[in-house]
Amino acid sequence: MSTTSVTTNKPTINDFFDYGNNYEPVTMFSSKKQKVNGNKIYITNHYGKKIVQLIINNESNSENEQFAQIKIIPYDIKKIFDKSSLTKSFKRFKSAELTYHGSNDMQKSSKIHLKYSNKYETIVDNTHELNAKANQLIPLFSVELGELSKSKKRDNIKKKNTVFTITDNDKPLKLDLYISGKSFDMNKYFNSLSMLSMYCSLDYLDSHSNNPLIYSKIAQPIEYFTINGYTLFVRATISDNKTNPYFVFYNNAEFYDAFLNREMISVNQNGTLSEAINMKDRELDLGSSYEQTNLKSKSESDSILITQKRKFN
């Protein structure tokens, strides 16, 4: 009599920690933050081909609060995939740069727009503000590299400039960009449930698809750079896109709830399962306890997400 083992597709947090590239371990984060001289950074492929240039400046609102403004200058990328809209359509452009305006007040909202020589076109309106005082890691957008991953063209970049270089040269990749305010507490973030979002693609921001959690396999350590006081995080993950490169934009206004406002259960020391709890509520508990003991409980490492559905109050 033969027996058949049955497996389920329910992801556990342990699955998210099982990182590897060609089944070899990969360090999650770079061990050192890099400080950028000036306000810009280039991202290149393995061979030195420019992918995108980011310029981070300060801008203010009518109340003189400070926010980040990010200019996005693409190289050989001429498409945008807008996942903030219900239609999720591609938009083509040329001879343009993009700008993420992080300021927000009663007169204007944060937004991402295309800037041509004589006009502006809004891509995503009412995005999350990029307040200089924000103690959060805010997801910005993704770049599907496609065929640019293997381009052997080498662009000239002055030595004084900071460059993030992709180390992998044999597979298509996707870049995910994040930014934090000037008072970001890295240690507190690493001891939070929010940090688990770094193991998932930014598709959890896609409200039109019920904010799914999709595992992303990292290709190299996440690097982070201090630019004008803000911290920019760059993550490279393995992708299926082997053709044309394009940007992917989401509406990130509710990014905190999009990831945390769902339920989880924990595995107790005796092997039993806890009652379902809301991840957002647990995050608040961890935040309070961190101030006193750094981390109240390590049971989250064995937690299981049991619903993909957000539950707004």
Does residue 257 register a pLDDT over 70?
yes
Q: 53-95: per-residue pLDDT in tens?
A: 999 999 999 889 999 999 999 999 999 999 998 888 899 998 8
Residue 291 has what pLDDT?
A: 58
Q: 21: pLDDT confidence band, cut at 50, 70 and 90?
A: very low
Residue 16 has what pLDDT?
A: 44
Does residue 19 register a pLDDT over 80?
no
Q: What is the arithmetic mean of pLDDT over 37-51?
A: 95
Q: 173-210: per-residue pLDDT in tens?
A: 999 999 999 989 888 888 888 998 998 999 999 999 99
Distance CA(206)–CA(86), nearest Å, equals: 10
Task: Name the residue with tokens 């342990």.
Answer: 14
- DSSP letter at 21? B
Q: For residue 129, what are its two tokens? A: 């503000």
107 phi/psi in degrees, rounded to 5: -95, -30
Higher pLDDT, 38 or 307: 38
Q: 294: pLDDT confidence band, cut at 50, 70 and 90?
A: low
Q: What is the arithmetic mean of pLDDT over 268-297?
A: 74
Average pLDDT taken over every residue of the chain: 84
The alpha carbon dihedral of 166, 241, 85, 256 has a sign of: negative
Does residue 12 register a pLDDT over 60?
no
Q: Name the region of 212 (left: φ>0; alpha: ψ -120 to 50; beta: rest).
A: beta
Around Cβ 79, how many Cβ atoms within 10 Å? 17
Q: Residues for the chain: how many in total?
A: 313
Q: Note whether 264 and 279 are within 8 A (CB).
A: yes
269 phi/psi in degrees, rounded to 5: -65, -25
Q: For residue 177, what are its two tokens? A: 């960009």
Pick from 247, 174, 262: nearest CA to 216: 174
Q: 239-251: per-residue pLDDT in tens?
A: 999 999 999 999 9
Does residue 252 register a pLDDT over 70?
yes
Q: 260-276: per-residue pLDDT in tens?
A: 998 888 788 888 888 88
Does residue 15 register a pLDDT over 60?
no
Q: 293: pLDDT confidence band, cut at 50, 70 and 90?
A: low
Distance CA(272)–CA(299), nearest Å, equals: 12
Q: 37: pLDDT confidence band, cut at 50, 70 and 90?
A: confident
Residue 250 has what pLDDT?
A: 94
73 in helix, strand or coil? strand
Residue 289 has what pLDDT?
A: 62
Residue 30 has what pLDDT?
A: 84
Distance CA(244)–CA(146), nearest Å, equals: 5
Say if residue 36 is exposed, middle or buried (CB neighbours under 10 Å; 0-12, 13-18, 19+): middle
Q: 101-134: per-residue pLDDT in tens?
A: 999 887 788 999 998 877 889 999 999 999 999 8
Does residue 300 register a pLDDT over 70?
no
Q: Residue 163 corresponds to which amino acid? A: V
Residue 157 has what pLDDT?
A: 95
The pTM score is: 0.84
Distance CA(43)–CA(95), nearest Å, equals: 19
Q: What is the 3-state secondary structure (H, E, C) of 157-202?
A: CCCCCEEEECCCCCCCEEEEEEEECCCCCHHHHHCCCHHHHHHECH
The alpha carbon dihedral of 80, 85, 88, 91 has a sign of: negative
Would you list the domain boundaries of the chain?
21-253, 261-308
Q: What is the arithmetic mean of pLDDT over 148-173?
A: 91
